[in-house]
Structure 1
Amino acid sequence: MEHHVIIEKLCSCAKRDGLSQIVTFETKERAKNAAETQLSFMENSFCGKHTFDITEVDDHYVIGMLGGCGCGSHEKH
């Protein structure tokens, strides 16, 4: 079974860094580790206008943006 790490909405920082919206892994453990690593990268390398979290959905990991930042690169929440 494949497990995915999905960035729910690509903000301008994610687009600038060329991040893929969906990355696939063979094991759930690898997907979870990749999601945690990606979240840390996003929190430490992006502009700081966004906050993110990880939600497990059907054995996949979704990195979501919390709250709107007003940057115009996504729908306002």
Structure 2
Amino acid sequence: MFTINIEKECGCFKKSDLENNQSFEDKDDALIEAMNMVNFMNEAFCQKHDFIFSEDGHNFQIAVNEKAKTHSGCCGGGHCS
């Protein structure tokens, strides 16, 4: 049995139709679903987080990381430099 676990369910995850702790008989099915979930979450969610997954034996863990704020305070008008 292979399981996909989301370590921290953010608000976007809770609002989505995605399920935590999904189990699969086949490792390839679990891997494909974990990759699809991570891709969907990174593309469709609010962009406050990055989602990555790792494999630990029979478990696929999807980690949630805060995105680094890259805003420098410049408006981009070209007059700050």
Larger Rg: 2
Task: Provide the alpha-carbon RMSD of the alignment.
Answer: 1.5
Distance in 1 of aligned mates of 2:33 and 2:17? 16
Identify the residue that residue 36 of structure 2 maps to in structure 1: 37
Distance in 2 of aligned mates of 1:58 and 1:32? 12
Question: Under a length normalisation based on structure 1, what TM-score does the superposition of the two structures give?
Answer: 0.80
| Structure 1 unpaired stretches of 5+ | 70-77
Question: Under a length normalisation based on structure 2, what TM-score does the superposition of the two structures give?
Answer: 0.76
Moved over 3 A (4+): none
Identical residues among aligned pairs (%) = 31
- Paired positions, count: 68
Distance in 1 of aligned mates of 2:63 and 2:24? 19
- CA apart distance, 1:65: 0.6
| Structure 2 unpaired stretches of 5+ | 69-81
Identify the residue that residue 75 of structure 1 maps to in structure 2: none
- CA apart distance, 1:68: 6.8
